[in-house]
Amino acid sequence: MVAYLGVEHSLTGRHWIGPGAEIDRQAEAMVQATALPRPLCQTMARLGVARDAALAYLDPTLRDLLPDPRVLRDMETAAARVLRAVVQRERIAIFADYDVDGGCSAALLIDWLRQMDQPAPTLYIPDRIDEGYGPNVPAMRALAAGHDLILCVDCGTLSHDAIAAADGAEVVVLDHHLGGETLPPALAVVNPNRQDEQGDQGHLCAAGVVFLMLVEAGRQLRGSGRQGPDLIGLLDLVALATVADVAPLIGVNRAFVRQGLRVLARRERPGLVALSDIAHLDGPPRAYHLGFLLGPRINAGGRIGRADLGARLLSCQSVTEARTMAEALDQLNTERRAIEAVVRAAALEQAGARGLDAPLVWAAGEGWHPGVVGIVASRLKEAAGRPAIVIGLEGDEGKGSGRSISGIDLGAAIQRLVAEGLLLRGGGHKMAAGLTVARDRIDAAMARLSELLARQGSDRSGAAGLRLDGLLMPGAATVELVEQIEAAGPFGAGAPGPRYVFPACQIGFARQLGESHLKLRFGDGLGAHLDAISFGAFDGPLGPALMAHGGARFHLAGRLEINRWGGRSSVQLRLDDAALA
């Protein structure tokens, strides 16, 4: 394939790939049929949107995209059991995962039960370090002793022993992680990624599954002549979980996020209002804010602090309490970043020495905090373009987390290693997974995992290709253009936003921000200028090379965004890569 602008090896080592002739043809046909702006049509054509579906794609609605909840196995049973608990005012416990998806899922149920005038349920979120992921026998046994119904959200599909230990209580699982060959002994296991599911809803996060259960509960309520709560007001939680859990923004997920952002903008949930203010959320909320401002702060509680702090913030009704919890999470997030920076530097050095071109990139270190290994695994994945595993060692065991790349099912490979006895525990989904491994089996386990991922083609991936949507000049990058393109959003996992190249630009100034970020201004030499920022640029060669530009011209590639500050809006380039012109 001919390199775009002749860039076969960029500053980050990537081969640039330009828009193909077929995409150009489809975009032109869409322009003729719809009279929509060409950059918008170009973006939709790349995302696979058919010409006749373009207008509908720009307005994703729940009415059109929400699946019938009953397409998921056990859904009717789960909703009926929750309603019975409500009618009989039973004692309900919620066992949730400690991440954003788990916290949002728990908050959805707490909010809904509150609107149903029910007693507050017991919230139980395991400690990441002491208990690990998912239901455990002691916790489930204790909850069963005091409750009639236990709802496991964003966990439970692989927790056979723990659910069996919940003697005296019934258990309903609402999850999305990859299921095993057998199901746990729960009354209902609602999970689009059960092995016996035949549908196409596997892209849902756990909060999406919980929302569908509440839709089904509402239908059953109406069938008995009652009216349930308005569910639209809960979509801010579903949107946050969908983006933060890196669920692909396709199908109903697009509608969840689009509508959820509108709900978030109404500023009705005290916890999210407090967190948004502390995070200095500027202007109308966007998917970026969910993934990079709000999500990490909510996650911080489960990573290095109180595991239940995020879920309690999201379900909090007191403005004062919400502010206190938001401040605590913001402080924990600052501490998390400091811990992450130390682990990231060590992991990048170790993985680099081992080789970033292997089918699996991995690192393991003594005392690495379990709460940050997943984030560092994401950094390794981004640096190498390969699936990555990062493991923190303590005693005879290591607890690790992995992140995958498109087309490589990491969760299934991890489950295979558990079945083969190379891992003590493990599970997840295609793009992310967790594991526990005996210290003396790490090398063997990683070698076997590398072999399994190579069979899926991970050895043919890597940071070799960067797909680009076309050329732009700084003067053409207007707020109006960005707003036109954003109509095809939200962008994120499964629906990447367009990336443009600004050719042969002069760098006016460049400076380092913090430990690893780069801020610069560039122009075309004719008077038009644009600001750019590159996060993590100094984790690789991009930052140092552009800082030492020496007056040379560079092709600069990245995504456009609107920077709102002080009541003014301007365009900024989120810089991903560069090449000497």
CB atoms within 10 A of CB 228: 18
Q: Sheet holding 188-190: strands in order across?
A: 122-124, 92-96, 149-153, 170-174, 188-190
Instruction: Locate CATH 2.40.50.460 in the chain.
Output: 468-580
Q: Provide the β-strand partners of residue 124.
A: 95
Q: Give pLDDT, residue 389.
A: 98
CA atoms of 148 and 90, how far apart (whole Å) = 6
Three-class DSSP category at 504:
strand
CB atoms within 10 A of CB 221: 17
> Which DSSP category does 61 fall into?
-
CA atoms of 12 and 130, how far apart (whole Å) = 39
Give the global pTM: 0.90
| Pair 257, 208: CB distance under 8 Å | no
* CATH of 468-580 among 2.10.260.10, 3.90.1170.50, 2.40.50.460, 3.40.640.10: 2.40.50.460
Burial class (CB in 10 A: 0-12, 13-18, 19+), 52: exposed
Burial class (CB in 10 A: 0-12, 13-18, 19+), 328: middle
Q: Give pLDDT, residue 1.
A: 67
CA distances from 142 to 136, 139, 148, 309, 322 (A): 10, 5, 12, 21, 29
Q: Provide the β-strand partners of residue 522.
A: 507, 530
**Yes or no: domain 65-329 corresponds to CATH 3.90.1640.30:** yes
Tokens of 283: 């202007």
CB atoms within 10 A of CB 224: 8
Q: Provide the β-strand partners of residue 153.
A: 96, 174
**Nearby residues of 413 by Cβ (< 8 Å), 6 or more positions away:** 449, 452, 453, 456
CA atoms of 532 and 543, how far apart (whole Å) = 12
> Architecture of domain 355-460 in CATH?
Roll (3.10)
Residue stretches of the chain with pLDDT short of 50: none
Q: Give pLDDT, residue 54.
A: 95
**Helix axes of 206-223 and 75-87: crossing angle, nearest 10 degrees:** 60
Q: What is the CA radius of gyration of the chain?
A: 24
CA distances from 455 to 14, 432, 449, 452, 460 (A): 23, 18, 10, 5, 10
Q: Give pLDDT, residue 2.
A: 83
Q: Give pLDDT, residue 133.
A: 87
Q: What is the pLDDT of residues 326-356, one digit of tens each?
A: 999 999 999 999 999 999 999 999 999 998 8
| Pair 104, 240: CB distance under 8 Å | yes
Q: What is the pLDDT of residues 1-33, one digit of tens each?
A: 689 999 999 998 889 999 889 999 999 999 999
**Closest alpha carbon to 361 in 385, 341, 344:** 385
Q: Give pLDDT, residue 461.
A: 55
Three-class DSSP category at 172:
strand
| Pair 285, 276: CB distance under 8 Å | yes
Query: E strands along 359-499, which residues?
Result: 361-366, 388-394, 397-403, 425-428, 432-438, 465-467, 470-471
Residue length, the chain? 581
**Nearby residues of 489 by Cβ (< 8 Å), 6 or more positions away:** 258, 286, 287, 495, 497
